[in-house]
Structure 1
Amino acid sequence: MRVGSIDELKKLSFWSRVLGWLSIIGWCIFVAALIVYHYARPEHETLLTEIFGVDVRTHWHITLGDLFIILLLFGLLTSLITFTINLMLFSRHRQHIWINNLILIFTLLGGIALYLFGF
């Protein structure tokens, strides 16, 4: 049997598939949060906005800011569930820790810190 064959995919356990789908869902939530962040963040003044007298928003759009935080928290919850399942599933050998979930957890925490503390 070849590595990565269809037969090998059929033998994956239920929890391995759940891990994969939760990881994909977590990253999709993160991408949605990035899109909301783009529209919710304060706008920056540039030379052109000063020359033409264009008003810029210097505060967070409150509704989109709340949606941004909700998406980040929901993504963080999904990633923590995925990480917990991963630890329980592969607790004996520790041969299969999904690094992408750790990266996602730290990135989501950074996004929450960005919103709350305004770095």
Structure 2
Amino acid sequence: MTEQNASLPKKNRRHGPDWLLQSINWLSIAGWVVFVIAMGISHLAKPEVQFGFLQYLNIQVRDYWDPTLTARLIYLLWWCCGISLLSLLLNRFRLRRAGDHLRYNLVVLLLMSSAVLLYLAIIL
């Protein structure tokens, strides 16, 4: 009788996404929204390009990173790293069955936000 019970597949008791899976999904969405906002701020904070027409008219452009926007950018990028790390840790506890998978979008978010932070650390 024990041989027969040992060969039977275990019953899957999951009936859909639970609160942990939903929180991982929402954290992933929140992390990407924060990253898109950070990229918008980086566009506003970066030095302006001095085109030939502007140089011809002697119009001065900003050739440095805006300090207030750069501080906000760095703050948001740290939040992106934190959100993605927290989501990856929660997902790590969730990886128990064959149907569970690693969320590569969180890994990409972590790599991209840390790469931009490294770039800003080198530039500034």
Q: Normalising to structure 1: TM-score of the pair?
A: 0.85
**Structure-1 residue corresponding to 2:116:** 111
RMSD after superposition:
1.8
Q: 2:70 aligns with which of 45, 61, 65?
A: 65
**Structure-2 residue corresponding to 1:23:** 28
Percent identity for Structure 1 against Structure 2: 25
Aligned residues: 110
> Does 1:55 pair with 2:21?
no
Q: Give, in angstroms, the shift of residue 97 of structure 1.
A: 0.2
Q: 2:88 aligns with which of 83, 87, 94?
A: 83
Native 8 Å contact 2:94 2:100 kept in 1: no
Q: Give, in angstroms, the shift of residue 37 of structure 1.
A: 0.5
Detail structure 1 runs of 4+ shifted over 6 Å in the superposition. Answer: none
CA offsets 1:48-103 (integer angstroms, 9 cap, x no match):
22111111111111010000000000111011000111111114548410000011
Structure 2 gaps, min length 5:
1-14
Q: Normalising to structure 2: TM-score of the pair?
A: 0.82
